[in-house]
Amino acid sequence: MAIRIEKRAAASLPLLYATPLLALGLTLLAGVVLFLALGVDAGAALYHIFIEPFETLSSIGEVLIKAAPLVMIGIGLAIGFRANVWNIGAEGQLTLGAVASGGVALAFWHETGVWIFPLMVLAGILGGMAWAAIPAFLKARFNVNEILTSLMLTYVAALFLSTLVYGPWKDPQGFNFPQSRMFNDSETLSLLVEGTRIHAGVPAAIVIALLAYVLLERTVTGFEIRVAGLAPAAARHAGFRENRLVWLSFLVSGGLAGLAGTLEVAGPIGQLVPVITPGYGFTAIIVAFLGRLHPIGILASGLLMALTYVGGENAQIAVGLPRAATGMFQGLLLFFLLATDFLARYRVRIAARAEARP
């Protein structure tokens, strides 16, 4: 008996939708085993992870606001990943976006007006872009590996933010604790839905996903990006300028990360603090690939990741599931999703030796 793997000419559409369900089923099974081994009520744990977050409006809102930055950043990264540009430093670009928009907020702290918030958004996007421009420049000009530069700059960004909030930007009335003043009302996002924390970032993420879909599927630039990723040599041959794609990828992903950072500080945080993000920039990398680098897929995968975080906390509260077990469970879910993706893209032929017989 021989097993042969054949790539499908086009991914099987029904399977593309069916495999995530299969993965979910496998994860539930594995979860039962894991939770029982830990002596936790498995049924209850799974209920709190997957069902409870949908039971109340406020909880749905929590999933949405957790997903919004992941989706935004994930989409930006996906554009780069499609073109084989490896921006691993969205975390740092998010931080710089927060620094830039927070800087505007603090500079105009005594002012009010509808113009302040748009200015913050602009500053945030430019801040993220500026931070992303460093690896883009070094890559385009000196061919310096962007994995290294973007990752290292993430640490620098965190320390830079820390320098500011421990120093010149700390709240004068804040007992010398490392945090800025709370932004004023013109500088913070209002809540869109009563009883939830849903803010403008949620619709923004959806709009960005749709725009990205149009860019990637319907424009020449989108075509260039896809070709550069799939066949770099062909792309060069066709005269697509590689450096242009490097710049485009970094500026788009940096800008979106900066926007996400802006919405975090202007939204649920409301001030600058030493740490803006619980790893959104890194989690978004998984989100991007889990969504198969497709804007709509990323929308779904972002929601799923957010769900596991919110649900994991619920399970910790309700049945005492340790944080470490949630992490393992997330890992398993991702493994199954990534593994079953295989079925949609490849065909497994089990060729019995029988045919060799006369």
Partner 1 sequence: MLWKIDRRRFLQGAAATTALVTASGIRAAQAAEPLKVGFVYVGPIGDYGWTHGHDLGRKAVEKKFGDKVKTTYVESVAEGPDAERVIRQLAQQGHGLIFTTSFGYMEQTLRVAKQFPKVMFEHATGYKTAPNMSAYNSRFYEGRAILGHIGGKLTKTGKIGYVASVPIPEVVMGINATAIAARRVRPDAEVRVVWVNSWFDPAKESDAAKALIDQGVDIMTQHTDSPAPLQVAEARGILGFGQASDMKQYAPKAQLSAILDIWAPHYIARVQAVLDGTWKTQSTWEGFKEGALVMAPWGDAVPAELRKEADAMVADTISGKFHAFTGPIKNQKGEVVVKAGERMSDGDLLKMDWYVEGVKA
Partner 2 sequence: MTADLLVPMFVTVIGAATPLLFAALGELVTERSGVLNLGVEGMMLAGAVTGFGTVVATGSHTLGMVAAAVAGAGMALLFAVLTLSLLANQVATGLALTIFGIGLSALIGARYVGTPIPAMPKLDLPGFTDLPVLGPILFGQDALVYLSLAATAGVAWFLSRSRAGRILRACGESDISAHSIGYHVIRIRYLAVLFGGALSGLGGACLSLSVTPMWIEGMTAGRGWIALALVAFASWRPGRLLAGAYLFGGVTIIQLYLQGSGLVQIPAQVMNMLPYLATIALLTVIAGGAWRGRLDAPACLGKPFSPPS
Residues 166-194, buried b or exposed e (16+ Cβ, 10 A)?
eeebbbeeeeeebbbbbbeebbbbebeee
The answer to whether 150 and 281 have CB atoms below 8 angstroms apart is no
Residue 284 burial (C-beta neighbours within 10 Å; 0-12, 13-18, 19+): buried
Site string for partner 2, 290-329 (x = CB under 8 A): x-------------------------------xxxxxxxx
Interacting residues with partner 1 between 26 and 85 (CB under 8 A): 56, 58-59, 62, 65-66
Q: Output the smallest distance, CB 187 to partner 2, in A.
A: 25
Q: Give the DSSP per-residue string, 165-232.
A: HHTTTS-TTTTT-S--PPP-GGGSPPPSSTTS---THHHHHHHHHHHHHHHHHHSHHHHHHHHHHH-H
Neighbours of 257 (CB within 10 A): 38
Report if residue 9 touches partner 2, rule: CB under 8 A. no
Report if residue 187 touches partner 1, rule: CB under 8 A. no
Residues with Cβ within 8 Å of 108's Cβ and at least 6 positions away in sequence, in order, are 116, 119, 187
- Rounded Cα distance between 146 and 84, Å, is 11
With CB under 8 A as the rule, give the number of residues binding partner 1.
38
Whose Cβ is closer to partner 2: residue 159's or residue 317's? 159
Interacting residues with partner 2 between 329 and 348 (CB under 8 A): 329-332, 334-335, 338-339, 341-342, 345-346
Among 273, 296, 345, 346, binds partner 1 (CB under 8 A): 273
- Rounded Cα distance between 293 and 23, Å, is 18
Angle at CA of residue 101, ends 98 and 102, nearest 5°: 75
Report if residue 33 touches partner 2, rule: CB under 8 A. no
Report if residue 311 touches partner 1, rule: CB under 8 A. no
Provide the 8-state DSSP code for 271.
S
Report if residue 274 touches partner 1, rule: CB under 8 A. yes
Q: Alpha carbon of 115 to those of 104, 108, 111, 122, 197: distances in Å? A: 11, 11, 10, 11, 23
Choose among partner 2, partner 1, none what residue 271 binds, the Cβ cut-off being 5 to 8 Å by kind: partner 1
Report if residue 317 touches partner 1, rule: CB under 8 A. yes
Choose among partner 1, partner 2, none what residue 260 binds, the Cβ cut-off being 5 to 8 Å by kind: none
What residues line the site for partner 1 (CB under 8 A)? 56, 58-59, 62, 65-66, 159, 162, 166, 175-179, 182, 197, 264, 267-271, 273-276, 278, 309-310, 313-314, 316-318, 320, 322-324
What residues line the site for partner 2 (CB under 8 A)? 4-7, 38, 81, 138, 142-145, 147-149, 151-153, 155-156, 159-160, 162-163, 166-167, 282, 285-286, 288-290, 322-332, 334-335, 338-339, 341-342, 345-346
